Structure 1
Amino acid sequence: MKIEKTLIEIKATLQGVTIDDIRMTPVLKSKILHVCDTKIAQKGTSVGISFYAFFKNKNDNPELLMEAATWWIKIQQLNHFEKAVKIKKLVEHL
């Protein structure tokens, strides 16, 4: 676990962001883990998701949406769709 956190810090430095930039609020972390668990249970380990999967089809929490988008696009530099198991693993270590 310590090694993984150190790797996250190194990645942040290489991307020109601070460790505070890659931290995630407990609300978003919980939401992501819940959605990943639900999707995996429904469709199996090969299911793909985007960061939009964590939100309803309305912009009722723009701050949380921007936090998710920033983490997904800027910090992690993920593709639009990624495997839910990959996202879950990334988030569990934050």
Structure 2
Amino acid sequence: MSPILRAKILEVCDKKIKEKGADVGVSFYAFFENKNQHPELLMETATWWIQEHTLDHFEKATKIKKLVESL
């Protein structure tokens, strides 16, 4: 996982957890704006989320944060 993606996931998860609590769910789209401005990063995220970890569409932000921190 690239350092840019790692930092972005941790930032978004922290923000979502702070705003909505530990039970908040996220999808890999949560790390991007509505416009596809970073297609390579989006594909890296989708590959990590879907192919490497076979995660559901929505997962708890705390789970994602722990997975990323363990890398």
So what's the TM-score if we normalise by structure 2?
0.99
Counterpart position of 2:53: 76
Aligned to 1:92: 69
Aligned length: 71
Match of 2:36 in 1: 59
Misfit runs of 4+, over 2 Å: none
Counterpart of 1:63, as a letter, is E
How much identity, in percent, do the aligned residues show? Answer: 69
Give the greater-gyration-radius structure (CA): 1
- Counterpart Cα distance in 2 of 1:86 and 1:65: 19
Give the superposed CA RMSD.
0.2
Gapped regions of structure 1 (runs ≥ 5)? 1-23
- One-letter code of the match for 2:58? F
